[in-house]
Amino acid sequence: MTQLTTALTIDFAGCLADRVGDAGLDLATLDDAAPRLRTLTEELEATCDTGLERWRSLPHDPVRAEHLSAVDALVTKLAPGTDDLIVLGIGGSALGNSALQAALNPPTWNLLPREKRGGPRLFVLDNVDPVLVGRTLACVRETDPRFERTVLNVVSKSGETAETAAQFLVARSMLVEALGDAHAERVVAITDTERGTMRSICDAEGYATLPVPGGVGGRFSVLSPVGLFSSAMCGIDVAALLDGAAEMDERCRRPEVRENPAALLAWLLIEHARHGRSQHVLMPYANALDGLADWYRQLWAESLGKRQARDGREIFAGPTPIKALGATDQHSQIQLYREGPADKVIGFVEVERFAEDVAIPGDLDVEPLRYLHGKSLGALLAAEKRATEYALVESRRPHYTIRMPEITAHTIGQFIWLWQMTTAYAGLLLDVNAYDQPAVETGKQATFGLMGREGYEEWAGRVEGALRGG
Amino acid sequence: MTQLTTALTIDFAGCLADRVGDAGLDLATLDDAAPRLRTLTEELEATCDTGLERWRSLPHDPVRAEHLSAVDALVTKLAPGTDDLIVLGIGGSALGNSALQAALNPPTWNLLPREKRGGPRLFVLDNVDPVLVGRTLACVRETDPRFERTVLNVVSKSGETAETAAQFLVARSMLVEALGDAHAERVVAITDTERGTMRSICDAEGYATLPVPGGVGGRFSVLSPVGLFSSAMCGIDVAALLDGAAEMDERCRRPEVRENPAALLAWLLIEHARHGRSQHVLMPYANALDGLADWYRQLWAESLGKRQARDGREIFAGPTPIKALGATDQHSQIQLYREGPADKVIGFVEVERFAEDVAIPGDLDVEPLRYLHGKSLGALLAAEKRATEYALVESRRPHYTIRMPEITAHTIGQFIWLWQMTTAYAGLLLDVNAYDQPAVETGKQATFGLMGREGYEEWAGRVEGALRGG
């Protein structure tokens, strides 16, 4: 019965006409949509674990057991001798890693003395900004000049993503300079099991590898070794992440939409979008969940932002995901959400119990602050959320709340799975392929051209011509 | 002639019909708008330094000199004996502080050994999340158990903002416990010079104070002591910030729109918004500028998101500011920006010379990566930006580039001023009051009610009633 107390729930009363008037949905239309949603659940059941929906196999055996044992073997070998872990990746190969760390380890992790941390400092290099990369590597070298207690974790299915490849060439070269051939002991690559540039490099250099499983796209890969390895190195209970995901997967197979949180959430958001409310804010009231809001931005934008429907019709679909943080962004974005155009749906995430709470002392006794005495920061944060929800009702702006009993690996696994499944449903509701990203190719090829890669010569001229206005 | 090489420029060819077709503006309409924009420049000149436009006096003497000397006196006294600086604030009392630190100090600042830093570690507590606050204070106490080398910098005009007040009661109490009356030496409050709860506390306790100048709202206060004190403590050249702002202020007084970057940028964005392109992305290609994109989000959202025009008509105005980071978000948001609805304008920020660059070595010689050898990360980042710009042209999506020669206090001062002035123009173009935030009040009062503050009793029942669906 642990599910009863640890399960995420969705409160969507704020999305309905009863509460927000014309900007809300009629509950009867959910009943009308129920048969169609049941059909989509069957459709997802039929394609589950095939093609680009192989991500659905991640929390279930045998895939789960294979991944956990491969990750565990490497972590057991490396963690005790590692003080710094550097993840090299971008997009789906980095967002999940940062998000899991932020959610499940303290915000001060990298500042703690080694003995107070359950693992190495974690640096996720998700860009080729020279100051970011240069300063981070210098910082690691400051305490570990020969990189003997550093692990380089490069995440790239092909090895040809320009940003990751460039980072890797830079960081690897430093390790080689310090350690020679022995540097190979300090590299873990997460890559394709069979082919590609990174695979060849790993085979030639003898690097340890973990799989980017086939049929699992970047933005659906956080619960594969892509996200699990760095998390496990930092002491996160990765089995519990998968348990939470598996439990949510079970709920997302239910035929009744009101019992199926992903079908419900997808319907709410896409139905609002059809009525012109296509800016979808995710606003957790917990700093630890800020990284997961970034992860959601990628999932929602890249999966649903599509020019063509599945049959090729031009539709230019795609709600805009927006990240906010409560209570902080009450002092930044709520003015717009309440008084600006009625084109938004605000999704709150509420944490019912924090890992620790902080009492507000009463030793400074001034009348206007007396109401805070003896309360806690957690209680204040909860009140702020409820007050904001009320303010949105008053302004007739639709909103919903994902309620998370506490932040644990188990609830975070549920949260991730909820959004991955919601995205799958939303793709079907919008009639788009949620698993490709055709528009990203142009930029990649143009970059190759501008950087002088063989075979892309014509791109440089094309870019310069267009940007000269010619 | 330093202006010639350090001045920010705006390239707006990507906003025009010549480059992006129907989604672009006709250059002739800018000429049509020129007389109106000239009138707005005169209007701003007339209201400058009055009412809520007193922020315009910040970079000019005598205000500038007063602030710099007050900040300098405190920094001179406190900096040598300070290892940790904790800023307590939220919204406009925190966003600018974080943004300046991220822009002008290395990303590894808090991890560096004290002797390699030009100032204390900086912690900006911009929320009442109990884990954030609890862990941060514990982390500081770890190295400074009696808070003898810690400064608490509380930023609140009134002292009654619930979040800041709660943080302050918590942190102050820890200092009092450790230091007794001597704790007063470790507190710097930035607050109203004459009235308010924080003013009374400071007078009673003998805290050092710096002014939140009258007529300077939170989101326009970063270049007042609000943002200057923590920056100066961390070694940032705050006089150069103001120099940059003053220089930009001069440019923003020019009657000709093409020579006035704020008038131009405001016209571009508001004109696009009138044509349905009201999602305004700011996407710097530099991790250091990520915090300034957060700062921009507040400025644009809270200033322009207004239900009423200045004459009281209901208009529900307000473009949506969106933050992105290049190249990272090419792997997250660009798919949507290119193929989703044509409702966005993408603003790039391009840095021409980074403080350091990182060469990409050629010691791992595999053919598909050979094109990177001998290049630099800075060159790759520049190519990524140009490639993305090209991809937007191909998709006919409007965009512009703010070109920043390098990231220095001087250029950051310009950047901040550019956006503050652009916001002033945009408020006039939309015919809204850019300086109030009426919709934030409801949430504040409802929070007081839920927290049991005297005088707000009826709010608790009102909130519970509305959220019960009653």
Confidence of residue A3 (pLDDT cuts 50, 70, 90): very low
Q: What is the pLDDT of residue A469?
A: 59
Catalytic one of B194, B331, B339, B367: B331
Which position has the token pair 């999340």?
A: B129
**pLDDT band at B180, cuts 50/70/90?**
very high
B444 is catalytic: yes
**Is the bond preceding B178 in cis, omega lying within 30 degrees of 0?**
no
Count H helices, E strands: chain A?
Answer: 17, 12
Residue-wise pLDDT tens digits, B243-267? 999 999 999 999 999 999 999 999 9
Give the span between the Cα atoms of B440 and A415, in whole angstroms: 29
B10 min Cα distance to partner chain A (Å): 15
CB-based contact B446 A301, cutoff 8 Å? no
Looking at residue B5, its pLDDT comes to 72
Strand extents, DSSP E, B212-278: none
| Token reading at A68 | 């956990």
Q: pLDDT at position A107, please?
A: 97
CB B232 within 8 A of CB B75: yes
Local confidence band at A5 (pLDDT 50, 70, 90 cut-offs):
confident
Q: Mean pLDDT score of chain A, rounded to an integer?
A: 97
Fold that domain B54-239 belongs to in CATH: Rossmann fold (3.40.50)
Banded model confidence at residue A160, pLDDT cuts 50, 70, 90: very high
- B2-47+241-430, CATH topology level: Rossmann fold (3.40.50)
Type of residue at B397: R
A-contacting residues in B 360-379 (Cβ below 8 Å): 360-364, 366, 368-373, 375-379
Structure tokens given for B245: 């702002």
CB contact under 8 A, A454 and B371: yes
State the nearest Cα–Cα gap between A372 and chain B, in angstroms: 7
Write the pLDDT tens digit of every residue in A436-445: 999 999 999 9
Give me the residues paired with residue B308 across strands: B314
Closest residue of chain B to A17, computed from CA coordinates? B469
Cβ separation of A327 and B163 shorter than 8 Å?
yes
- Partner residue facing B127 (CB), from A19, A294, A327: A327
For the record, the structure tokens of A245 come out as: 């995901």
B132 and A CB contact within 8 Å = yes
Q: Do B142 and A395 touch (CB under 8 A)?
A: no
Question: Which of residues 250 through 289 in chain A touch B, CB cutoff 8 A?
Answer: 278-279, 285-288
Determine the distance in angstroms separating the CA of B390 from the nearest CA of chain A, rounded to an integer. 6
Does the distance separating the beta carbons of A380 and B327 come in below 8 Å? no
Nearest CB partner across the interface for B371, out of A92, A298, A452? A452
Interface mutation vs chain B, best among A20, A127, A432, most B CBs within 10 Å: A127
Beta-ladder partners of A209: A189
> Exactly one of B177, B352, B444, B457 is catalytic; which is it?
B444
Record: contact B446-A376, CB cut-off 8 A: no
- State both tokens at B261: 């970057």
Enumerate residues 400 to 429 of chain B having a beta carbon within 8 A of any beta carbon in chain A. Answer: none
Query: Cα angle at B152 between B146 and B155, to 5 degrees?
Result: 165
Contact: B134, A316; criterion CB under 8 Å:
no
Q: Is the ipTM of this complex over 0.90?
A: yes
Inter-chain residue contact B165 with A92, CB threshold 8 Å? no
Give tens-digit pLDDT for B114-142.
999 999 999 999 999 999 999 999 999 99
CA-to-CA distance for B374 and B364, rounded, in angstroms? Answer: 12
Inter-chain contact A166–B139, Cβ cutoff 8 Å?
no
Please list every residue in chain B whose beta carbon sits closer than 8 Å to the beta carbon of residue A143. Answer: none
Whether A287 sits inside 8 A of B127 (CB atoms) is yes
Tokens of A335: 């003015």
DSSP string, A6-35: H--EEE-GGGBHHHHGGGSBPHHHHHHHHH
pLDDT tens for A145-156 read 999 999 999 999
Residues of chain B with CATH 3.40.50.10490: 2-47+241-430, 54-239
pLDDT at residue A1 greater than cutoff 60: no
Q: Do B336 and A142 touch (CB under 8 A)?
A: no
Kind plus residue range of the DSSP H or E element containing B428: helix B409-430
- Residue A210 sits at the vertex; the CA angle it makes with A207 and A211, to the nearest 5 degrees, is 130
Q: How confident is the model at residue B1 (pLDDT cuts 50, 70, 90)?
A: very low
Which residue numbers of A are catalytic? 302, 331, 444
Q: Is the pLDDT of residue A51 over 50?
A: yes
Nearest by CB to A369, which of B127, B197, B363?
B197
Contact across the interface for A390 and B341, Cβ inside 8 Å: no
Residues with Cβ within 8 Å of residue B405, at least 6 apart in sequence: B5, B6, B7, B8, B352, B353, B411
% of chain B residues with pLDDT over 90? 98
Residues of B in contact with A358 (CB under 8 A): 130, 133-134, 170
Average pLDDT over residues A105-113: 97
Q: Give yes or no for a cis peptide into B62 (omega within 30° of 0).
A: yes
pLDDT tens, position by position, B405-451:
999 999 999 999 999 999 999 999 999 999 999 999 999 999 999 99
Is the pLDDT at B469 greater than 70, yes or no? no
For testing contact with chain A, the best of B112, B339, B373, B444 (most A CBs within 10 A)? B339
> Is residue A212 within 8 Å of A194, Cβ to Cβ?
no
| pTM score of the predicted model | 0.98
Residue A142 at interface with chain B, using a CB cutoff of 8 Å: yes
> How many beta-carbon pairs below 8 A join chains A and B?
446
Q: Does A395 touch chain B (CB under 8 A)?
A: yes
E strand spans, B6-62: 9-11
pLDDT tens by residue, A220-238? 999 999 999 999 999 999 9
Measured in angstroms, the CA of B3 and the nearest CA of chain A are apart by: 25
Q: Which of B336, B384, B463 to mutate to test the interface with A (most CBs of A within 10 A)?
A: B336
Residue among B359, B447, B466 minimizing CB distance to A384: B447
Whether A166 and B364 lie within 8 Å, measured CB to CB: no
A172 in contact with chain B, both atoms CB, cutoff 8 A: yes
pLDDT for the residue numbered A248: 98
Q: Which residues on A lie below 8 Å from B328 (Cβ)? A: 90-91, 94, 126-127
User: Which residue from A142, A206, A208 is spatially nearest to A174, judged by alpha carbons?
Assistant: A142
Looking at the predicted structure, is the pLDDT value of residue B3 above 50?
no
Give how far A62 is from chain B: nearest CA, Å. 30
- Read off the pLDDT of residues A180-226 as tens digits, 9 standing for 90 and up: 999 999 999 999 999 999 999 999 999 999 999 999 999 999 999 99
- Going by pLDDT thresholds of 50, 70 and 90, the confidence category of residue A2 is very low
Please list every residue in chain B whose beta carbon sits closer than 8 Å to the beta carbon of residue A297: 332-333
Residues of B in contact with A130 (CB under 8 A): 354, 356-358, 376-378, 381
